[in-house]
Amino acid sequence: MIIFPAIDIKGGECVRLLKGNFDKITKYNKSPLSQAEEFFNLGFKNIHIVDLDGAIKENPINTNIIKEIGKINKIKVQVGGGIRTLDHVKKLFDLGVDKVILGTAAINNIQFLKNSCNQFKNKIALSIDVRNGYIALSGWKNQTNILATKYSEKFKNINISRIIYTDINKDGTKTGPNLIETINFSNLIKIPTVISGGVASINDIIEIKKNNFKNIEGVIVGKAIYDGNINIKELSKII
């Protein structure tokens, strides 16, 4: 199982949001590059990055920072936020990104998702962000009436590398991940799925790892690291 430490970037800084609310933002002292280097030096080879400015402006913004992080030797970076065109996707891969995460544009336009997966084989991840089971788009500001389970029928036969399944109501709350919903979704689609949102302690990670859930590829950890609820050095020992 892959543990993905998360770096959310806004205004060139490391930040965390509460349930995706830009009015409830916490800034952290380390730069995104310094934070990525710390994660890598502790043994984490996979990092999850969200370009929050990109998500707002519907265009990747923090590409210079992403480029510098991508230069870290042997690091694998997955990046999402504001990616709307094949040119955006290619630009990120040219920066050294391992996987590009599509969300809003892919869900609004299934052909874009197909084209991206065909052109960049085994390199495209799909972000499924939900509130109470329903998909939210555009940096989580646009709440739809589309059930994630229903929408999954559209992409079952598309060669998606992985799914990032985020429970928005859990994100940044440190109340524990929504395992039941995420596991049920992963079993439905049979695509490697990453758990996102709500991780509160190292015990959450140990429990997920111990159970070796079918189709669960990894877990994203963010706010619990930054706030000190999870000791990053201890976490590195269970990679």
In this prediction, residues 79-88 reach a mean pLDDT of 96
Domain count for the chain, please give it. Answer: 1
In this prediction, residues 187-212 reach a mean pLDDT of 95
Instruction: Tell me whether residue 98 is one of the annotated catalytic residues.
Output: no
Domain of 77? 2-236
Quickly state the pLDDT bin for 34 (edges 50, 70, 90).
very high
Quickly state the pLDDT bin for 156 (edges 50, 70, 90).
confident
Two structure tokens written together for 132: 């109470």
- pLDDT of residue 138 exceeding 90, the answer is no
Residue 239: per-residue pLDDT: 85
In this prediction, residues 80-105 reach a mean pLDDT of 97
Residue 115: per-residue pLDDT: 98
What pTM does this model have? 0.95
Two structure tokens written together for 138: 């555009």
Which domain CATH number covers 120? 3.20.20.70
Instruction: Tell me whether residue 129 is one of the annotated catalytic residues.
Output: yes
Report the Cα–Cα distance between both ends of the chain, in Å, rounded. Answer: 8
User: Would you list the DSSP string of 61-77?
Assistant: --HHHHHHHHTSTT-EE
In this prediction, residues 121-147 reach a mean pLDDT of 95
- Among 80, 12, 13, residue whose Cα is nearest residue 51: 80
Catalytically annotated residue among 8, 51, 167, 171 = 8
- The mean pLDDT value of the chain amounts to 95
- pLDDT of residue 72 exceeding 90, the answer is yes
Catalytically annotated residue among 53, 129, 167, 204 = 129
